[in-house]
Amino acid sequence: MLSKSFAGITDRRVLGILIIIVLFCVVDFVQRVQPAVDTAALTREAAMLETTPAPVEHTVSPRVRDWLASLNTTATSSPEVATETVQQELLSGGTNIGEKRVRVRAILIANTTQQRVALIETQDRERRDVEFVELRQGETLSGYTISAVQVDGVEFTPNTGGGAVVRVKVFE
């Protein structure tokens, strides 16, 4: 294969010059890519890795020491604070529907039947559990019936008479 690519070159001087240029390129490449091995630098780095820092005495003012001690005693004296779990935040941008907080995430429309399904993110306002629910028109959620699933939102009608219709738009 190499002989085919150089088949047109018959002069030996040109071949010699090409070989010398290729050798110079290889040497240059190796010198630039391969790191220089400096044994003194390697031993210095190894010595730096093996050293351990000298112990340092930390001086703390008495006011700071007293403040830290008071923090430590409050943390250990009140176990009910330590066992209390941080409550999850309510969904931002949601609407309260019964005991749930609701956000409409998407409206899915079937191509063939044009049936609309609302993908709704619900959160219990007391337990703060979040779940995704697929609901259609006529189904109920937390004491409200879905009266309409539109392209841009969902209308909730309370099951008990006298309540106003709540319209929840798709959350962006």
For residue 19, pLDDT over 60 is answered with yes
Find, among 90, 109, 110, the residue nearest to 101 by Cα. Answer: 90
The pLDDT assigned to 17 comes to: 92
Task: Provide the pLDDT confidence category of residue 6 given band limits of 50, 70 and 90.
Answer: low
Per-residue pLDDT, averaged over 144-149, amounts to 88
For residue 29, pLDDT over 50 is answered with yes
pTM of the predicted model as reported, rounded to 2 decimal places: 0.46
**Average pLDDT, rounded, for the chain:** 79
The pLDDT assigned to 82 comes to: 47
Tell me, rounded to whole angstroms, the distance of Cα 170 from its chain centroid: 24
Q: pLDDT tens-digit profile of 116-133?
A: 888 888 888 788 788 888
Among 1-10, 45-54, 135-144, top mean pLDDT goes to 135-144
At 143, list the tokens.
Answer: 């004491």
Stated as kind and residue range, the H or E segment containing 26 is helix 12-33
For residue 20, pLDDT over 90 is answered with yes
User: What percent of the chain shows pLDDT beyond 90?
Assistant: 7
Per-residue pLDDT, averaged over 98-113, amounts to 85
The pLDDT assigned to 3 comes to: 62
Instruction: Say how many C-beta atoms besides its own lie within 10 A of residue 144's C-beta.
Output: 22
Instruction: Say how many C-beta atoms besides its own lie within 10 A of residue 149's C-beta.
Output: 21
For residue 7, pLDDT over 80 is answered with no
